[in-house]
Amino acid sequence: MASDLAFACRCGAVSGTLRDVGPGQGDHVICHCTDCQDLTRHLGHADMLDAHGGSALYQSRCAKMRLDTGRDRLACLHMTDKPTLRWYASCCGMPLFNTYANGRIPYITTQLAACDPAKRDALTGPPLGHLFTQDGSGDTSALPKMSMGRLMRRFFPRMVKDMISGDRRRCALFDPATLEPVAPPRRLTAEERQALRSGGAIP
Ligand SMILES: [Zn+2]
Ligand SMILES: [Zn+2]
């Protein structure tokens, strides 16, 4: 369909489609937080960040993502003790999605760097704003800011729809019965975090 947006990891083993993509269906934001930045460094894909360390993200309803290939390559990790779960392709390390730790709080945030470059800008619309600009690199003072509060107010109605409709149990990343992740999450150790913060690389 015209509103479908294809995504794939860098090597192509993991691929799928985001359905019903549009500015009214989800939120396009740029996140500059240290966890998003550290994630790309940890996985060896820091080149996907923009000049200010930003990650282009699209947050939408959890059942709108269809996984076509590579389910067995999906892996996930927690950067910190916070609940955000970071999904990536174990084949090439490409970051793909952010979700809550389990399917109880339903949303899926897709890395736009993994989406079809010919269609993503037209479908998602311009970014609503930039999150955590204080953590970005260089002079971020001119970037239009977006607060987490505003993002949460936009996310909340979609979350309620996912809960009421039962779509919460139709997310490809969580078991429909238990709502637990389909791949075992790993949590970075303090040493791994420290290495990222000091500019070192994890082999
Ligand atoms: Zn791959
Ligand atoms: Zn972030």
Break the chain into its structural domains and give their ranges: 5-187
Q: Give the Cα separation of 74 and 105 in Å (integer).
A: 20
pLDDT > 90 fraction of the chain, expressed in percent and rounded:
93
Please give the pLDDT value at position 199.
Answer: 60
For 75-94, what is the mean pLDDT? Answer: 97
Query: From the CA of 163, how far away is ligand 2's center (Å)?
Result: 24
pLDDT in tens, 166-202: 999 999 999 999 999 999 999 999 999 988 887 654 4
Average pLDDT over every residue of 148-155: 95
The two structure tokens encoding residue 112: 């736009």
Q: How many angstroms separate the alpha carbon of residue 4 from the centre of ligand 2?
A: 25
- CA torsion, points 94, 95, 97, 98, in degrees to nearest 10? 160
The region, left, alpha or beta by phi > 0 then psi within -120 to 50, assigned to residue 20 is left
How many A from CA of 131 to the centre of ligand 1? 28
Q: Which residues contact 59 (CB under 8 A, 6 or more apart)?
A: 26, 27, 29, 107, 108, 109, 110, 151, 155
- The CA 188 to ligand 1 mean position distance, Å, reads 21
203 pLDDT exceeds 80? no
What pLDDT score does 197 carry? 80
What is the CATH T-level fold of the domain 5-187, as seen in this structure?
Answer: 2.170.150
